[in-house]
Chains A and B, each alone.
Chain A
Amino acid sequence: MNDTHVHAHPHAADDPSSGYEPLERAIRELLVEKGVFTAEAIQRRIEAMDSLTPANGSRLVARAWTDPDFKARLMEDAAGLLAEEGYELEHSPTVRVVENTESVHNVVVCTLCSCYPRMVLGLPPAWYKKKAYRSRVVREPRAVLAEFGTELPDDVEVRVHDSTADLRYIVLPRRPEGTEDMDEEALAALVTRDALIGTAPARAPPDRRANFFAAGFRPAQGRSDSPGRCSRCWSRPMGRSGEFRHCPGDIFVLPGALRAYGPLRRSAGSASLW
């Protein structure tokens, strides 16, 4: 159905073999020569874009988790709120926040190009712009999410947002359990870029991750005492340096990792963790 796909914006701009790089350079140099803008102005614009990072989104989410009024405002009028917070939205598409709940999990894509809330989160990750992600996440979102380590129960509605027009979407992930005592800054550290796109949930808090095995979880029999494994996550040494690929907390949110380490059994006295 792509027979009408004749518009000229550069889908393949970050592929140096596409020919867009020399084209971009030629046009830029011409415009500078003609005095339309200066090279310094371009540099300042690039610096401004580079100063935007997913940490902006993480802070918004952490504040929404701790401040119900802020959250209500964020859900109702994200663009207005962000403008007040000093984000430059004047020449940008508008922003909307979609909330993950017990029954709905949101994930964001732009199938037509690579629309992304750049005015808040900065540049999108490379995979977000790839045809593989853009075409597959609408067709088989659960399979794609599983590849990100996110497996959702069948009764959770997966809601894909295709940013086809003038809105850009940011996902408000669910607040992980066991984070009741954490302050905003610590909470923000749990909100990854992928959580803001919806390909992953927010990370579990660090103490829960560390407690995972300490509280009585052990890999299946015959594994826990194998020599040469990390005492915490039972991974084998990886790579040339023989370093352990530790379980940097992702073990809670990566069912794939659990499979890799074999079935887990729960020993007595650990029920409170779950």
Chain B
Amino acid sequence: MIENGTRVRVDDRFHAGHHRVPGYLKGREGVVTDCLGRFPNPEALAYFRPGKPDLALYQVRFRQADLWDRYAGGPADTLDADIFEHWLQPLKDKP
């Protein structure tokens, strides 16, 4: 269980096959803003396997300025994505 407000890094790893982590978020750091519940693992569901046990899904908020070089929008702009627990590494330092 990752607490709300925890700083996390999205794993930057190769996964051969269906998964729900966009490439542009791999290796990026954000903050967990909500636990959205537990859901079957889509990486198994996509291949007709049950995807059990369910995995915790977290809403992670990223600062746009951290995601893109020369981001042209406002400094407060953010991006929320829903990432499963096995792709998230909690970081020690909190913001």
Contacts and interface: CB of A to CB of B under 8 A. Distances in A.
Interface string A50-67: 000000000000000000
A141 B42 CA distance: 28
B21 interface: yes
A132 B3 CA distance: 35
Interface string B70-84: 001110111111111
B80 A4 contact: no
Given A139-B68, A142-B72, A166-B36, A159 B17 contact: no
Contacts of A6: 16-18
Nearest to B40: A166
A165 B82 contact: yes
Contact of B79 (A2, A7, A156, A159): A159
B84 to A, nearest CB: 7
Contacts of A154: 74
Interface in A148-182: 154-167
A142 B64 CA distance: 12
A154 B73 CA distance: 7
B42 to A, nearest CB: 7
Contacts of B14: 3-4
B1 to A, nearest CB: 17
**B interface, size bucket:** 20 to 34
Nearest to B75: A154
B32 interface: no
B22 interface: yes
A112 B78 CA distance: 18
A100 interface: no
Contacts of B67: 138
A1 interface: yes
A264 B75 CA distance: 30
Contacts of A162: 22, 79-82
Given A155-B74, A157-B74, A165-B42, 15 more contacts: A3-B14, A3-B23, A4-B16, A96-B36, A138-B24, A141-B64, A154-B74, A155-B76, A158-B64, A160-B80, A161-B81, A162-B80, A165-B39, A166-B42, A167-B36
